[in-house]
Amino acid sequence: MTRLMLVWTLMPLVAVAQGTKAQETQPAPTAEAVRLEANRENFGAVVAPAALPDGTSAVSGWVGVPELGVAYRQGTGGWELGARARFDYLRLSVTGEGVVRRQLWTNGTWAVAPELGLGITGSTGSRYFDEQNLEGWFLRLNPALVATWRAAETVSVVGLVEVPYDLGLSPSGTWRVKPMAGGGAEVYLGEDLSLSAVGELGVDVFKELRGVTQTRLGYGVRLGLGVRLF
């Protein structure tokens, strides 16, 4: 009877000792594992997240209608800085711009960040696909708002509002403004890769050389692939 009571008394102590030993022998996560887990929790490279965390960067490219392009993003000091290059293959125009973004609000699931792009657009004026295409060099000012919602562990829903404005640099007085709104999703594929699909609708308002102001439908669809570098 005494031996039985002694066994029952020692069993909890043995279990605790075994659990402690198992915890001590379990290997600590490597720096690479920690980095990959942080990227998965904070995934995004093309549009999401609303702003990249400090010290992270990403490159991306996209194809769509009416343009294709590439972009670089860098999170630093609470801001996101970057650059974009676009090619409108329907109007044979190119745009290069610097971009700055700042996350203003987040609750862990939702995040909102305003964005401002500034650059130059050069257009050949080709009218093969667009009989009202504008020719020349333009100053590009592109204010925008980006919102993201973490819908699932590897899926973020994104919302976009953009108002690109092109002001002609010649004294001709030509200009174009194209307010657009839309959304889509970005999916984490693993290995720091993200796939994004976005569609937008709006209006295209422009003034031709010695012409009157005109308005028509504006649209954009793009499929992008991005990778987080750090």
- The answer to whether position 6 is within a domain reads no
Check residue 108 and give its pLDDT. Answer: 84
Question: Which residues constitute the domain of residue 177?
Answer: 31-228
Q: Specify the pLDDT at position 42.
A: 75
Q: How far apart are CA 147 and CA 210, in angstroms?
A: 39
Give residue 17's pLDDT.
47
More confident residue, 125 or 5: 125
72 within a domain of the structure (yes/no):
yes
In a domain, 20, yes or no: no
Single pTM value for the model: 0.81
User: Is 221 a member of any domain?
Assistant: yes
**Exposed, middle or buried by CB within 10 Å (0-12, 13-18, 19+), for 88?**
buried
Residue 10 lies in a domain: no
Whether the Cβ atoms of residue 199 and residue 182 lie closer than 8 Å to each other: yes
- Whether 8 is covered by a domain: the verdict is no
pLDDT tens-digit map of 19-57? 444 444 455 556 554 455 555 567 899 999 999 999 999
Q: How do beta strands 93-101 and 67-76 pair?
A: unpaired
Reference 137, options 125, 147, 146; nearest CA is: 125
Are 117 and 85 spatial neighbours (Cβ–Cβ below 8 Å)? no
d(CA 201, CA 229): 32
How many structural domains does the chain have?
1
**pLDDT above 90 coverage of the chain, percent:** 73
Where does 25-134 show beta strands of DSSP type E? 57-65, 67-76, 79-88, 93-101, 105-106, 110-124
pLDDT digits (tens, 9 = 90+) for 113-158: 999 999 999 999 999 999 889 999 999 999 999 999 999 999 999 9
**163-173: average pLDDT:** 89
CATH of the domain at 39: 2.40.128.100
Does any domain span residue 52? Answer: yes
Residue 15 placed within a domain: no
CA distances from 33 to 26, 36, 40, 87, 120 (A): 15, 5, 11, 38, 41
Structure confidence at residue 170 (pLDDT):
81
